[in-house]
């Protein structure tokens, strides 16, 4: 599946900052924030992303990763990041301050789903059967890993704390799958794109869970920036670079690793669905 070996990637990741600090790139590096919306802890993926972005942007790139969405959102809001790959939920939470740079294309669409997953051998048919569970969410600021289920319950007049016996946050979609697969949680809310990728790359883990419910299609976690920086050359360069991903060798490798088809400029209305859910839960005071 991968053209580059893991070792090559790691070497690239380790040498990149040194190169950036040296003769190769002048000026301050591009600071690109990543949330655990991606496959966390995949050093090879990070290395390939950095390799591609530096090559495409012609400047040093710092990939900034934090444990929670909130931390990255805060960094982006404070201007410490040039852009970040965030989730749709923080995007709609800060609708007025964030602007879209590009949205990834999954199955040729800028859309994805949220999955409700349960252990593979659990005999339940509908989400209503999950009452009283210990439920694993990904992150309080995750759309697929929290908001979608939250909204689902809100529509039914429920709240997570009342519907579930206990809820835990695992701060990573992969961790949600691990929690459900291990039995720590009896059900979980997970990014459908991440679960699909895990089912290809780590079928042993994914096969210990099954999808109980798939949500409607929603806007894929976007790459965003502060609205005031939207026209900045660095941000425009990033937009162009990401849109051009399928056109270079390293870009294709990156897409292959991400199991994405590319990046496209989309309208903000793509996230109306998520915004509506946010409005719903806010209205219910959940």
Q: Which residues here bind other proteins, judged by CB under 8 A?
A: 134, 136, 165-166, 168-171, 175, 178-179, 182-185
Return the closest-CA partner of residue 224 out of 268, 186, 180, 274: 268
Distances (CA, A) of 191 to 122, 176, 267: 20, 9, 22
Q: Smallest distance, Å, CB 184 to other proteins?
A: 4
Which C-beta is closer to other proteins: that of 164 or that of 278? 164
Instruction: Please identify, using beta-carbon distances, which residue of 79 and 183 lies nearer to other proteins.
Output: 183
Name the minimum Å distance from CB 113 to other proteins.
Answer: 23
Taking the complex as a whole, how short is the minimal distance between the CB of residue 169 and other proteins, in angstroms? 6
> Roughly how many angstroms between the first and final C-alpha of the chain, as a whole number?
43
Alpha-carbon torsion (164, 167, 171, 173), positive or negative: negative
- What's the min distance (Å) between Cβ of 269 and other proteins? 35
d(CA 105, CA 60): 25
Between 49 and 117, whose beta carbon lies closer to other proteins? 117
Cβ proximity to other proteins: between 119 and 192 the closer is 119
Cβ distance 209 to 180 under 8 Å?
yes
Q: Which of 98, 137 has the CB closer to other proteins?
A: 137
Q: What angle do CA 53, 54, 55 make, to 5 degrees?
A: 90
Q: Name which of 133 and 196 has its Cβ closer to other proteins.
A: 133
Instruction: State the nearest-atom distance from the C-beta of 212 to other proteins, in Å.
Output: 18
Write the burial class of residue 109 (CB in 10 Å: 0-12 exposed, 13-18 middle, 19+ buried): middle
Compute the distance between CA of residue 35 and CA of residue 70 in angstroms, rounded to an integer. Answer: 9
Q: Are 233 and 170 in contact (CB under 8 A)?
A: no
Nearer to other proteins, 182 or 247 (CB): 182
286's CB contacts (< 8 A; 6+ apart) are 150, 153, 154, 159, 160
Provide the minimum distance between the beta carbon of 134 and other proteins in the complex, in angstroms, as a whole number.
5
In angstroms, give the least distance from the CB of 7 to other proteins. 21
């Amino acid at each position: 599946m991968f053209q580059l070996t893991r070792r090559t990637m790691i070497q690239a990741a380790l040498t990149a900052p040194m190169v950036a600090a040296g003769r190769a790139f002048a000026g301050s590096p591009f600071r690109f924030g990543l949330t655990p919306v991606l496959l966390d802890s995949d050093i090879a993926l990070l290395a390939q992303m950095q390799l591609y972005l530096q090559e495409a942007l012609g400047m040093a790139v710092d990939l900034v990763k934090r444990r929670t969405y909130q931390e990255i959102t805060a960094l982006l809001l404070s201007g410490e990041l040039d852009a970040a790959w965030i989730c749709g939920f923080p995007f709609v939470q800060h609708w007025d301050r964030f602007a879209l740079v590009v949205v990834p294309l999954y199955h040729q669409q800028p859309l994805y789903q949220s999955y409700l997953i349960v252990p593979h051998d659990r005999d339940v048919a509908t989400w209503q059967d999950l009452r009283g569970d210990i439920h694993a969410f990904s992150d309080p600021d995750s759309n697929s890993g929290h908001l979608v289920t939250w909204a689902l319950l809100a529509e039914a007049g429920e709240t997570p704390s009342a519907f579930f016996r206990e809820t835990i946050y695992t701060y990573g979609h992969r961790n949600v799958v691990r929690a459900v697969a291990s039995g720590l949680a009896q059900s979980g809310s997970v990014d459908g794109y991440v679960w699909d990728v895990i089912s290809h790359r780590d079928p042993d883990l994914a096969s210990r869970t099954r999808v109980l419910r798939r949500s409607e299609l929603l806007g894929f976690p976007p790459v965003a920036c502060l609205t005031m920086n939207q026209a900045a050359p660095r941000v425009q360069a990033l937009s162009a670079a990401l849109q051009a991903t399928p056109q270079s060798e390293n870009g294709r490798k990156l897409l292959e690793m991400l199991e994405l088809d590319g990046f496209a400029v989309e309208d903000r209305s793509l996230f109306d669905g998520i915004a509506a859910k946010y409005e719903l839960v806010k209205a219910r005071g959940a």
